Structures are given as structure tokens and as C-alpha cells.
Chains A and B, each alone.
Chain A
Amino acid sequence: MSRKVRPAELEIARLWLAGRGLADVASTPMLAARLTVRRRARVAAALLLAGFLIATALVYVSALPIRTAEDGFGTDQRGALAVLTALTAGLVLGLSLLDRRVRQVDARVGAELPRRAAHSVRPGWRTVLGVPRLALLTTTYAGAAVLAIAALVTRDGAARYAAVILLIGVCGVAAGTVVQLRHVLTHSVVADDEDSLRADLLMRVEDAREVALPTAVWSLPVVSVFDTGLDPWNTGWLVFIVLSVIAIALITVRDGRNALAARRGTGARRTA
């Protein structure tokens, strides 16, 4: 390995394997390095998103109170929206760079393997992400966009401004998610035997499911939309968010049960 792996990282890799029913698989520096870079990238992505939400909130409040011009928003609002668009592009770029760092480490680790293994049939998005998660992700983003566009059409003043803020944010985060998911689904396998191939698939599944969590869609309305008061439209937003959180919880529980059943099945086959 070009970078020395610390014992603590190896121990985390061992626990990671044990937690996924792969206790019999040895924790290797290769796996430790891949898990470490992912852990750091996830923390950085969470901070990036938190920073984006704070910046969005600042952009929103910086242009208040709303003074509607004849042709739409006033100069303050238009300037704020331009800043928000730049921030959104920065978010997508930042997420993409974090992804790139993960892929770089994967490629470096892969190049150091004495031999290489791959699936003869590559697991597709159904295996990696699953239909329920993709359906929920699509529905959440589409629902958020529809609610924001509906507000643009039917409301005015502060609510319209909040809806534009939300729409730009949702579009940016959706673009970032698409870029990240594409990376996860297409990046090269890093494995040299069956065990590391299984670990690689599990890692890919976790990467995809992490990316597919619509955290930003749940958080963005809090920044701007809910400031306009708890009217029926905002109540609809709250219901929408709560329902999607419940849906993701149910999908996660279902996935956990399926994984447990599969693990028991594998264990039974091994002992038979």
C-alpha cells in the first residue's frame, strides 16, 4: 500500500465485515483504505450539504423583505438567486470531487492487487440500489419540484421567492445525486477473490443507498418555505416530508430483514 494503514482502520474494517455477516473474511489494508476514504468522503459530503443549507438560508434572508418589481422579483432577489445558483453549482462540483477522490483511492488500491476478480454478470441498479429506493428517490424529487412549481404558479410575494429558492436547491441536489449514483453504479470493481468481490458489492450497495437518501429534499423546505407560515400548502409539505421519511424507514427495515434472511440462508448452506 502506498499509504500506511493504521491498526484502528483495520479494526474498523473488521467490524464492518462482521456487521455484514462476513466475519470469516480477513480485514485487509485494501479494504481498510477503501472504507476510510468513504467514511471521510461521507463526513465531508454531510458538511458540504450542511454548508449549502446554511448558505441557502443566508441567501434567502439576505433579500428579505420581498419587494416585487413589475417584471417579477426585485434586484436584491435576482442577485440572491444568482448567488444561490452559483452555490448550487459549487455543491454539485464539491460532491463530484469527493466522489473522484474515492474513485482515485479505489483505482490505486486496485492497481496494487496481485490479481483481479470481477463479476461475470455485473450487478445492475436493481441489485445495487433496488426498485423501492429508486422509486422513492424519484417520487421525492419529483414531488418537491411539483410543490415548488405549484407555489410559483398559484402564489406570490415571499412564498414565490421561497419556492424559487427551493426549486434551485432541489434541482442542484438532484443533479449532484445523479452524478454520484452514476459514479457508484459504473465504477470499477476492486477485488482479487470471491470474498473481496462480495465486500466490494456490499460497499457499492451502501454507497448507492447513502447517495439515494433524499436528505436535502427534507431539509431545504425548512430553510425557506416554512418561513412563510404554516398554511395548508406548507402543511402539505410537512406531510410530504414525513411520509417520505416513513417510506425510507420502512424500506430500510425491509432491506435489513432481507439481508438477515439471506445471511441465515448462506449460513445454513455452509453448515449443510
Chain B
Amino acid sequence: MIVIDPASPVPPFEQLRAQLAAQIQERVLAVGTRLPTIRRLAADLGLAVNTVGRAYRELEEAGLIETRGAAGSFVSAAGEQGRERARRAAAEYAAVITSLGIDTTEAVRIVQAALTRSVPESG
């Protein structure tokens, strides 16, 4: 389900993008799932077509969905591949940590520090 709250400080296109991205990443929307058409979703959510179009465009640029012409927009396999890459990198990291004899708490702290550095400050 997607819920758009016009009273929220978050712009509607971002609310839509974030909810769809989360559903794709949490596999609520499986690879190959066909998303509603831009026009149909805009009508359902009471949004402008351009607003939904922008959210879809950003999801497409992030590799989470792909548009196959008139057939519509589908959840892309790229999201799955990204998750698989992350899993492989984590396994490699775990092997390095084990070989160096670093404990788990310290290892998690290193990851958190790296993630904090890599995520830009928002708002």
C-alpha cells in the first residue's frame, strides 16, 4: 500500500519514491512486478501525473525499476543484484575481520562509522 499525506513536509513525489523504494528493497514488490501506470497511480493518489512521473524517473535512475515502453514499469532485477553484491562484500569484510582478530562489536562500529561517512547529511 502507498499512502500520500499532503500535510507532510516531505514532498509527495519523495513520499511516493521512498515508499516504493522501501517496498522493492524489502521485497514486498518482487522482481518483475508490474507497477501501476503513472496516469492510473496519479488518479488513485490524487496527484499530478508529473509528480508520479518524477518519482518513477528517480526509481528508474536508482535502478530499482525499469520501463519497458508501452508495457509499463516493472521492478528491476538490479535491486536484487545490488543486495547480492552487498551480501558478498559483507562476507569478504567478515573474513578480513576474522583474520585480523577484531571482535564483533568493534567490527560493527567500523561499519557504522564507514556508513555515517558515506551517507551525506540530509535536511
Task: Please give the number of chain A residues whose Cβ is less than 8 angstroms from any Cβ of chain B in the complex.
Answer: 19
What is the minimal beta-carbon distance from A148 to any residue of chain B, in angstroms? Answer: 37
B35 within 8 A of A: yes
* Closest chain B residue, CB of each to CB of A113: B46
Which residues of B sit under 8 angstroms from A113, Cβ to Cβ? 46
Which residues of B sit under 8 angstroms from A115, Cβ to Cβ? 3-7
Considering only residues 87-126 of chain A, those with a C-beta below 8 Å from chain B are: 110-111, 113-122
Which residues of A sit under 8 angstroms from B41, Cβ to Cβ? 118
Inter-chain CA distance A115–B16, complex, in Å, is 13
What is the minimal beta-carbon distance from B101 to any residue of chain A, in angstroms? Answer: 44
Which residues of A sit under 8 angstroms from B18, Cβ to Cβ? none
Task: Please give the number of chain B residues whose Cβ is less than 8 angstroms from any Cβ of chain A in the complex.
Answer: 23
A28 within 8 A of B: no
What is the minimal beta-carbon distance from B93 to any residue of chain A, in angstroms? Answer: 33
A197 within 8 A of B: yes
Q: Which of A111, A116, A121, A193 contacts B45 (CB 8 A)?
A: A116
A76 within 8 A of B: no
A113-B46, A188-B44, A189-B44 in contact; A118/B7 too (CB < 8 A)?
A: no
A186 within 8 A of B: yes
Q: Which of B35, B43, B47 contacts A120 (CB 8 A)?
A: B35
Which residues of B sit under 8 angstroms from A114, Cβ to Cβ? 5-7
Decide: B3 and A192 in contact? CB cutoff 8 A.
yes
Decide: A193 and B3 in contact? CB cutoff 8 A.
yes
B33 within 8 A of A: yes
B82 within 8 A of A: no
Considering only residues 22-52 of chain B, those with a C-beta below 8 Å from chain A are: 23, 28-29, 33-36, 40-41, 43-47
Decide: A119 and B36 in contact? CB cutoff 8 A.
yes
* Closest chain B residue, CB of each to CB of A193: B3
A194 within 8 A of B: yes
What is the minimal beta-carbon distance from B18 to any residue of chain A, in angstroms? Answer: 12
Inter-chain CA distance A222–B55, complex, in Å, is 55
Considering only residues 158-208 of chain A, those with a C-beta below 8 Å from chain B are: 186, 188-189, 192-194, 197
B64 within 8 A of A: no
Decide: B5 and A118 in contact? CB cutoff 8 A.
no
- Could you say which of A111, A113, A121, A186 has the most chain B C-beta atoms within 10 Å of its C-beta? A121
Q: Which of B3, B23, B33, B34 contacts A116 (CB 8 A)?
A: B3
Decide: B20 and A120 in contact? CB cutoff 8 A.
yes
What is the minimal beta-carbon distance from B42 to any residue of chain A, in angstroms? Answer: 9
Q: Which of A111, A116, A186 contacts B4 (CB 8 A)?
A: A116
B1 within 8 A of A: yes
Decide: B29 and A118 in contact? CB cutoff 8 A.
no
B94 within 8 A of A: no
What is the minimal beta-carbon distance from A30 to any residue of chain B, in angstroms? Answer: 14
* Closest chain A residue, CB of each to CB of B8: A115
Which residues of A sit under 8 angstroms from B3, Cβ to Cβ? 115-117, 192-193
14 A-B pairs (CB sep. < 8 Å) = A110-B46, A115-B3, A115-B4, A115-B7, A118-B1, A118-B45, A119-B1, A119-B2, A120-B19, A120-B23, A121-B36, A189-B44, A193-B3, A197-B1
The 5 closest A-B pairs by CB, nearest first: A118-B44, A189-B44, A188-B43, A115-B5, A122-B36
Given contact pairs A113-B46, A119-B44, A186-B40, enumerate 8 new A-B contacts (beta carbons under 8 Å): A115-B3, A117-B4, A118-B44, A119-B1, A121-B33, A122-B36, A188-B44, A197-B1
